[in-house]
Structure 1
Amino acid sequence: MKNILPVLIIALFIFSVKTSVSADSDLDTIEKRVFETLENPDVDDAEIASLLRTFTSDGKWPGINYEDVSRTGFEHRNHSGNMVTLARAYQKKDSKYYKSGEVKSTISAALKTWVDNDYICDNWWHNQIGTPNNLVTLMVLAGDELPEELVKKAQPIIGRANISAGGARPGGDRIKIAGIEAKNMLFLGNREKFDEVIKVIEGEIKHVEWIGNDYGFGFRRIVGGFDNRSAEGRGIQYDNSFHHRTDGVNNTLSYGLGYADAFVEWAVYTNGTKYAFSEEKLEELINYFLDGICKTCVFGKYPDPGAKNRSISREGTLKPYSATTAENLLKTTDYRKKELQEIVDIRNKGIKTTLSHATFFWDSEHFSFQRPDWFTSVRMYSTRVYNMEWPYNSEGLLNHHRGDGVNHVSLTGDEYFDIWPVYDYLKIPGTTVMQKPEFPSENEIQKLGETDFVGAVTDGIYGAAAFDFKSPHDPLIARKAWFFFDNEYVCLGTGISCRNNDFPVFTTLNQCLLRDDVTVSANDISSVVERGKNKFENVDWIFQDGVGYVFPNPAIVNIENEAATGSWWKINKQSDSPKDQMSLDVFSVWLDHGKRPSNKTYEYIIVPATTIGKLERNVSKNNIEILVNTAEIQAVKNKESQICQVVFYKAGELEISNNLKLVSEHPGIVMLKMEGDKVSKITVADPNRELDNYHLSISQKITNPGEYLDATWNAKENLTNITIRLPRKNYRGASVSIKL
């Protein structure tokens, strides 16, 4: 034993040394990767020359308002950004300013200005994320060569980004703030704290319970509302949408995208080291990226304008996404490799998507539908979620109706690019809106929905969405539904009523950039419309930029195809928002329900990726049968695909054909796949989120009930009574499909 003990001590010592060396080696690897990534962006030597030339003796740059620290100002971000740009040039060997003494002294003088003044913005984000991120980037790139006193003074400012900071809310900006702190710990060489922060980053990838589980049905009757919740509800939802705040608003393409990118960034940095993230967490993130982010995008590449909030009022907000996130995920795992590679190729090479899907994000009341040639979506809200993001920092100032069943349609992804300064925010595609002369104040934008029956049914490929709409802004109600198929989708509205006698109510089919002649067919005669604003009677169909608008019954339609003017400043009061008037050619088409409408209806078919020839042959019109459009039931049958979709706002029955009857014992949405008069698949959903089982009957004998289905034949009524088990807990609102 005496001889063994020294050997064990020596072995433990050697193991400890090896472990320590290994950890240090891993940290060196990670630090090198971080440096290379931060240094990587291109440097424009002309820009560097300008920054050096204009830098003043008092350590500032002209054109930056150093006095305004308001939420709409804080141009100081340009000062800290300039320091980072100079630091990149200083480290880039292919820049003429590589290791330039003038660049180094300018950085030092600019940093001294910052640490001496410690600029604090009224918006916490700049103080805990924006400024610390720029300063830590500066430290990683050039901190070792800057005056030690300045580096030391910068640390408390960078340190405002820490996992205990107020902004580091779980599921919110916590992962982004943790990433900033991790970089700072690498710079400082604090391995113990770095270990802790990396675990926080990995742990943030998780699904969180939607607040609507407790405050969904009947939510408006709970005192305190969302502020009375026990769970935060921030983060990746179980439907793979993303909530940044506790309002239930879909933030997938804003905060949710930044959330994913922050995790992916560190997944790449730590890959192949002892700090590498688990396969389980990587798979969870990839599922969110592919099934959440990418399915909220047009062809997985362009942002869906219907999913955007206040950021719609920023220039370039609908520009296509880069392939970087997907490329980085491919570096870390082989999970869903083929799908990730397709996203890379779509974004880099412009290949055509192969994915067709019908996806409902039940936690966010958002529906998206895609075919290889076109994409569309529907945005709704209910008693479970708010209609729109609050106009923080005076952005998105006219977004009052951008959740009211908005329905954009895209063939290319750029049909709405930067149209927002000239947009008519009372004529938003898919919405039914009272045409008031003035908008309520920006403080009246965000409203909680007032109806429970909002949702969709989908089997993953086909689907229908329904919105029991009650405007929180105007005395207006309507029942709106959308029915989606391979080559077209049907839009139905009923019960449209408004108590206001002063202003008309419009349903807008589309408002997008004018890219083509507008052709109208009325009384079976088609002609190109002159530019301007016109009303047409007995319209059969309209065509513009590859999209057809078909009316099952001749309709009176308003069309506007001319230049519209406006400015970014009208919708975004940030200090750097352009104030100049601009003009764009815009196409708008809408239906006028008149003043004080009572129980009005509309019926139209959107036919994307079509031609005038197909419209003239009535291809889609002949393929669609609108079975009923009343306040109780809305139903559509597609003859080619043999799919019938039905919205029951109350219990009822429907004759689908002479030989097939459908009965629903309560409100809900049903989709039937048929083979002749026989039903081969049933898909159901409960928009009210209150049922454990869906009860329906069909006039067909079913003999093979499955795990989620009970069936009893009622010979007297010639009906099979069916009970389908619905999703529960975090999946209420999702659909169930049963093959017969």
Structure 2
Amino acid sequence: MTTAWSRRTFLATSAVLTAAVGAALTPPASATPLSPSPAADPYAALRATWSRLILGEGFSPTAEPFRSRLTDLGAKARGLLETMAPADGSLWPDAVFADPDPDTDAESFAFSGRMADSFTRLNTMAQAYRQQGTGLTGSTALRDAVLTGLEHLNTQVYNDRQTRYGNWYSWQIGAPQALLDVCVLLYDAIAPERLARYCAAVDHFVPDSAVASYTGTSTGANRVDLCRVLALRGAVGASAAKIALARDALSPVFPLVSKGDGLYADGSFIQHTTVPYTGSYGSVMLGGLGMLFALLKGSDWEVTDPKRQVVFDAVENAWAPFLFNGLVMDAVAGRAISRGEADDHRRGHPILASIVLLGQGASAAENTRWRSLVKGWAQRDYYSPPLSNPSLGLTALARIKNVLDDSALTPLPEPDGHRLFPDMARATHRRPGWAASLSMADRRITYYETGNGENLRGWHTGSGMLYWWGDTFANGQYSDAFWPTVDPYRLPGTTASRKALANGAGGDWGASLPDVNWVGGATDGKRAAVGQYLRGLSSTLMAKKSWFFLDDTVVCLGAGIQCRDGAIVETTVDNRNLGPTGNAPFTVDGSAKPLTLPWSATLTGASWAHLGGHGGYVFPGGATVKALRENRTGRWRDINTGGSADQLSRKYLTLWFDHGRDPSDASYAYQLLPGATEQRTAARAADSGWLRVLANSDDQQGVAVPSLGLTAVNFWFGGTVGPLVADAPCSVMVTEHGDGTATVCVSDPMRKRTSLTLTWNRTVASVVSKPATVTSATTGTSLRLVFGDLSATRGATQTVKVRLA
């Protein structure tokens, strides 16, 4: 429980301590050490490099957007200077970090967080002191206040006698990173004896043993952060051994992994064992590696491990697929989606800057290509231009502006095609004008992550959530207060029970995993068949869900939907965030629906619907769909205990299938057409021959699109669907090409098949190419493919190319 201070007592005590401690701790001029020349001192060279990395270079402090940003930095530092009041248990009155008797773990976490935040505030002040144009550049009062603060925190809490409490991250990463940054920025003003004590504190909380094994909290992004602490500890304390340890401890991060945290061969990135985290922890890791590579480049401790090429390759294999016009997709951001201060665009921009920095250590060809990619992403972000991102640091801002100003660079367009990530149950699809991503869950990948009081209602994000964006429209769909205002039981694409769930249901840190194996699909890199055997979180819900990602549409099928929760089950076709005004016209079968709020209707026999400014929906054969236009309110604090309590309001248009209470064998079918006009949507619905639904049952789901020469089937069990026959569960996509060839794509999403026989009843002349997993291929009036052991393929697509008769 926090000590009860009256405001008057607190301020009086703070004032006395500020004066007394400030006078006692301000170092005399004679005690200020002078740094040797960087040329003669390798540690001074590292500190000089790190100063440039955290302060930035190559920009004018009098030019925008830097002038305004520096002014803001100065104002923030001035506010911190004016409110800093060293007292027992705090450095600022609103950041009490010491409590002799915390009542709960949550309180203990909060106190440790405030301790780390106190160092972060000092870092802000130190940067305002060192940066040009802040209004406090070179201010001795500001410098002395930072020195006072460092000493106060060392005396009070961050020292080699303190026992850790609360969040380990605060002690091993948050606090020491900020502390060491300040030590670098103010190195010449800190007496050697003090530096020794600060280093001793870091050694106490981040001993060499912190990176002795690649386990627990010392993997992936966390390992990179710990290495940053060790490297800076070495630079500040002149310890070659610490820097060498930091360099060598990076090596376990580089190799591709087959389980747990890290980068996978298919481009997946996992942190916390079960959470897809490319856009959050992955961003931290990418940025941290870029900074460490740059820090150590040209020094005696340069990172030369050849496996670091894995990280360079991952720029386009792992990160680029989830970047779209400046944003990073929420499907790989974990609990970060619940943080109101950083939406998908604001999380994406630091990744762009990190790619630019990483390129400095890559090959010339890689560097040029990445800069061209970044220029394209940054130029196309009309919704939230990177140079206007208030949370983007000056260094990142400078890197992105440098790329935008580089007239020799030709911006690269968004790629066109499909990427399937079976190792993290994710998929991305890109077509001219739009992009989509899909998030699922299985026995290896959690439904969602909650922890530290964050993402309390992300329950159904792994239940087949289908995100989509346009290149010139709807880029703020999930950015504009979507997460605190959307109905968490009606996330786009998901099938969910309306059974009420408690905040954080299922457990912290991705603990809850569905007991299913069939999640994945097959892709030729352009189109895909993807499926999810869904079991609901804390629910009896079961369903088979399939998505067929095609040229201008995503065909969505659901079957075998059953539940015994005593609650209604729904499949949400879409739930579009229309912003504060929400006047997008909505038309069903050519009939305009009201713009009034609230408005709801049951659309019986609907064959198509269109939402102006977004896209169209087609219901093959007609369907009964429910629609709702409503105003929804919420607060970030509702889904994140540390979030803002401000009430937010957004308008939504929701379309869903109501499967009723406790359905036994419900199903659905629809097409999503992102960006389609009303006319094109109506035309697709009228073209009854364009799409043939071959199967939509608990056993198989499949479609054929004759104009594309495509047949795709998810076999939940073996059987016959159209021209395809499989003797066991698998995913299959066959495409006939105009040159007389065909591509047969097959995968084992369950990762359990030791044999599989697939027959395509189509006359085939010869096999052009096949993978080693095919043990027999028979052609003639049909194609018979016999696969050997597929269990080690990790759900990856096996591609066979044939020549048709």
TM-score (normalised: structure 1): 0.86
In 2, distance between residues paired with 1:336 and 1:724?
A: 37
Q: CA deviation at 1:422?
A: 1.4
Matched, 1:150 2:166: no
Of 237, 253, 273 in structure 2, the residue corresponding to residue 204 of structure 1 is: 253
Of 406, 414, 429, the residue aligned with 2:492 is 429
Q: Percent identity?
A: 23
SS of equivalent residue, structure 2 residue 488: coil
- Residue identity opposite 1:102 in structure 2: A
Q: Is the 1:172–1:245 contact (alpha carbons within 8 Å) kept by the matching residues of 2?
A: no
1:309 correspondence with 2:328: no
Query: What is the aligned counterpart of 1:542 among 600, 609, 620?
Result: 609
Q: Tell me which residue corresponds to 1:590.
A: 656
1:396 paired residue number: 455
Task: Identify the match of residue 578 of structure 1 among 633, 636, 644.
Answer: 644
Tell me, in whole angstroms, the C-alpha distance in 2 between the residues paired with 1:28 and 1:103: 23
The one-letter code of the counterpart of 1:345 is: K
Question: Which residue does 1:506 correspond to in 2?
Answer: 570
8 Å CA contact 1:421–1:567 kept in 2: the answer is yes
Structure 1 residue 327: deviation in Å?
1.1
Report the Cα offset of residue 313 of structure 1: 1.1
Select the residue among 39, 61, 64 that pairs with 2:92: 61
Distance in 2 separating the partners of 1:67 and 1:603:
57
Contact 2:176-2:202 within 8 A present in 1 as well: yes
Q: Report SS of the residue matched to 1:375.
A: strand
* 1:560 paired to 2:628: yes
Q: Report the AA paired with residue 153 of structure 1.
A: R
In structure 1, how many angstroms separate the alpha carbons of the residues matched to 2:798 and 2:655? Answer: 36
Query: In structure 2, what is the equivalent of residue 70 of structure 1?
Result: 108
| Distance 1:695-1:334 versus aligned 2 partners, 3 A rule | farther
Task: Report 1:639-678 matches (<5 A).
Answer: 639-655=706-722, 661-675=723-737
* Number of residue-to-residue matches in the alignment: 684
Q: What is the match of residue 448 of structure 1?
A: 513
User: What residue number does 2:447 align with?
Assistant: 387
Change (3 A) 1:463 1:26: farther
Structure 1 residue runs of 5 or longer lacking an equivalent are 1-20, 211-232, 656-660
Runs (5+) with no aligned partner, structure 2: 1-36, 57-65, 100-106, 159-163, 381-410
Q: Which amino acid aligns with 1:457?
A: A
Q: Is the 8 A contact 1:296 1:368 kept in 2?
A: yes
Following the alignment from structure 1 to structure 2, what is the Cα–Cα distance between the partners of residues 630 and 385? 25
C-alpha contact 1:524 1:540 (8 A) present in aligned 2: no
**Structure 1 residue 652: deviation in Å?**
1.0
* 1:479 to 2:505 alignment: no
Tell me the secondary structure at the aligned position of residue 450 of structure 1. coil
Task: Work out the CA distance in 2 between the residues paired with 1:360 and 1:148.
Answer: 54
Q: How does 1:338-353 map to 2 (within 5 A)?
A: 339-350=369-380, 353=413
Alignment of 1:249-648 (within 5 A): 249-278=275-304, 280-299=306-325, 301-315=326-340, 316-320=342-346, 321-322=348-349, 323-332=352-361, 333-337=363-367, 339-350=369-380, 353-389=413-449, 391-411=450-470, 412-417=474-479, 418-439=481-502, 442-444=505-507, 446-500=511-565, 502-515=566-579, 517-527=583-593, 529-535=595-601, 536-544=603-611, 545-574=613-642, 577-618=643-684, 622=688, 623-648=690-715
SS in 2 for 1:133: helix
Distance 1:620 1:467 in 2: 29
Alignment deviations for residues 639-683 of structure 1 (CA, whole Å, 9 cap, x no partner): 33222211111111122xxxxx22112110100011489761100
User: In the alignment, is the contact (CA less than 8 A) between 1:131 and 1:158 conserved in 2?
Assistant: no
Deviation, 1:282, is: 4.1
Provide the alpha-carbon RMSD of the alignment: 2.7
Report what 1:225 is aligned to: none
Q: Write the distance in 2 (CA, Å) between the matches of 1:697 and 1:443.
A: 42
2:309 aligned with 1:245: no
Please state how far the C-alpha of 1:168 moved relative to its aligned partner. Answer: 5.5
2:753–2:790 contact (8 Å) kept in structure 1: no
CA contact (8 A) 2:86 2:92 kept: no
Match of 1:109 in 2: 148
Match of 1:13 in 2: none
Match of 1:31 in 2: 47
What secondary structure, in the 3-state scheme, does the structure 1 residue paired with 2:424 have?
coil
- In 2, the alpha carbon distance for the partners of 1:386 and 1:53 equals 46
Contact 2:768 2:801 in 1 (8 A): no
Secondary structure at 2:465's aligned position in 1?
Answer: coil
Match of 1:164 in 2: 209
Closer/same/farther in 2, CA of residues 26 and 154 from structure 1, 3 Å limit: closer
Secondary structure of residue in 2 paired with 1:407: strand
* CA distance in 2 between partners of 1:342 and 1:650 (Å): 46
Using a 3 Å threshold, how does the CA distance of structure 1 residues 305 and 108 change in structure 2: closer, same or farther? Answer: same
Q: 1:404 to 1:674 in 2, by over 3 A?
A: same
TM superposition shift of 1:725: 5.6
CA distance change for structure 1 residues 325 and 441 in 2, over 3 Å: closer, same or farther? closer
Aligned partners of 1:163 and 1:206: how far apart in 2? 22
- SS of 2:337's partner is helix
User: What amino acid does structure 2 have at the position aligned with 1:36?
Assistant: R
Could you tell me which amino acid in structure 1 is paired with residue 96 of structure 2? N
Higher alpha-carbon deviation: 438-447 or 21-30 = 21-30
CA distance in 2, matches of 1:305, 1:235: 19
Shift of 1:505: 0.8
Q: Which residue of 2 aligns with 1:218?
A: none
**Structure 1 position 177 matched with structure 2 position 177:** no
Structure 1 window deviating more from structure 2 (140-149 vs 417-426): it is 140-149
Which deviates more, 148-157 or 689-698?
A: 148-157
**Greater alpha carbon shift after TM alignment, 463-472 vs 129-138:** 463-472
Letter matched to residue 318 of structure 2? G
1:514 and 1:586 in contact (8 A); partners too: yes
Q: Shift of residue 67 of structure 1? A: 4.2
- On the 8 A contact 1:77/1:131 being kept in 2, the answer is yes
Q: How big is the shift at 1:635?
A: 0.8
CA contact (8 A) 2:600 2:628 kept: yes
Deviations 1:409-453 (A, max 9, x none): 111532111311112111111111111245375354742211221
- Residue 195 of structure 1 aligns with which residue? 244
Distance of aligned partners of 1:359 and 1:151 in 2 relative to their CA distance in 1, 3 Å threshold = same
Partner letter of residue 200 of structure 1?
A
Whether the aligned pair in 2 keeps the contact of 1:567 and 1:578 (CA below 8 Å) is: yes
> What do the CA deviations read for 1:144-194 (whole angstroms, capped 9, x no partner)?
302444333322332223442276524351121111110121112222331
Secondary structure of the residue aligned to 1:552 is strand
Q: State the Cα distance separating 1:571 from its structure 2 match.
A: 1.0
